Amino acid sequence: MRLAINKNLPIPIYYQIEEGIKALIEQRELKPGDLIPSERELCEAYGISRMTVRQAVNNLVNDGYLVRQQGRGTFVSKGKMEQRLKGVTSFSEDMRARGMEPGTKLLSFERIQGSKSICEKFSVPEGTMIFEVKRVRLADGIPMAYEISYLPATLLPGFTLEVAEGSIYQFVENVLMLEIGNAHQVLEASLARGVECEILGLESGAPVLLIQRQTYLADGVPLEVVRSVYPGDRYKFVIDMQRTVS
Ligand code: 16G
């Protein structure tokens, strides 16, 4: 990788590095998935401080050009996964629609007595049996989301660990023959912390999208409450809107 850095120009060095790397990506001299030199190598190659290099790399990571993978290095981003917020789709369907193979790493599968706050969401008394499923969702083997799902046990006879390793929506619709109706979803920005970093290969404090979805069956019975964490550098959500004059 060759960057043209000119210390005599009145343009900050970090900005020159940033623009230089962007240009290499746009000219496809650096391709998606390519490893870029480490911060130390860049400092040595151009005789600049670590802070300057870090600023440039941080900006490129935040803008989605580069992706940091803990313990492996910094890579040219493969582009953000785009998800349209329209129908109530499942992770498996979304990935297949993009020609990618959905996968699941099951972290835990438990039948618990629901807490007050969870049971309230299902309109059932506190202590009702609820499935708690923690899953890492993969696309072609790459971790795309960390999901914690709650589903009422009485609604899902035959829901097992093996089912949770595949598509829950497929099981609900094709095995239990229940009709999934609508969902209420809240998206907010957050920062990766604790176990999320390890699971998604993110540095502590990396930007993430936090999504909470509550899905209902067609007859209005609550089916699931799901909290998902999506790495900010791998995902973008697109909403098509229609102007309505009130
Ligand atoms: C999506 C849903 C999640 C649902 C899952 C089912 C969002 C934010 N969440 O990840 O609520 O449980 O799909 O996927 O879209 P599955 O059928 O592949 O298990």
Q: What is the pLDDT of residues 10-68, one digit of tens each?
A: 999 999 999 999 999 888 899 988 999 999 999 999 999 999 999 999 999 888 889 88
Instruction: Output the six-digit token pair for 159.
Output: 């829901």
Please tell me the distance between residue 67's alpha carbon and the centre of ligand 1 in angstroms. 24
Cβ 200 vs Cβ 185: under 8 Å: no
Nearest to 105 by CA among 156, 66, 142, 160: 142
What is the C-alpha separation between 200 and 138, in angstroms, rounded?
10
* CA-based nearest residue to 41, from 84, 3, 93: 3
Percent of the residues in the chain that have a pLDDT greater than 70, as a whole number:
100
Q: What is the dihedral of CA 192, 193, 195, 199, to 10 degrees?
A: 20
Token pair of 195 as six digits: 């176990």
- Report whether 84 contacts 240 (CB < 8 A): yes
Local structure of residue 172 (DSSP, 8 states): I
Q: Any idea how long the chain is?
A: 246
pLDDT (0 to 100) of residue 32 = 87
83 C-beta closer than 6 A to ligand 1: no
Would you say the CB of residue 224 lies under 6 angstroms from ligand 1? yes
Q: CB-based contacts of 244: which residues, under 8 Å, 6+ apart? A: none
| SS3 state of residue 169 | helix
Parts of the chain belonging to CATH 1.10.10.10: 13-76
Residue of 85, 100, 209, 213 to test ligand 1 pocket, by largest number of atoms within 8 Å of CB = 213
Q: Kindly report the CATH number that applies to the domain delimited by 81-238.
A: 3.40.1410.10
Cα 39 from Cα 17, distance rounded (Å): 12
Residues carrying CATH 3.40.1410.10, the chain: 81-238
Distances (CA, A) of 218 to 118, 169, 178: 21, 13, 8
Distance 89 CA to ligand 1 centre (A): 7
Tell me: the pLDDT tens digits for 101-132? 999 999 999 999 999 999 999 999 999 999 99
CATH of region 13-76:
1.10.10.10
- Strands 235-238 and 81-84 turn out to be parallel
Please say if the pLDDT value at position 216 is more than 90. Answer: yes
Go through 210-220 and write b for each residue having 16 or more CB atoms within 10 A of its CB, e for each that does not. Answer: bbebbbbbeee
pLDDT score recorded for residue 240: 87
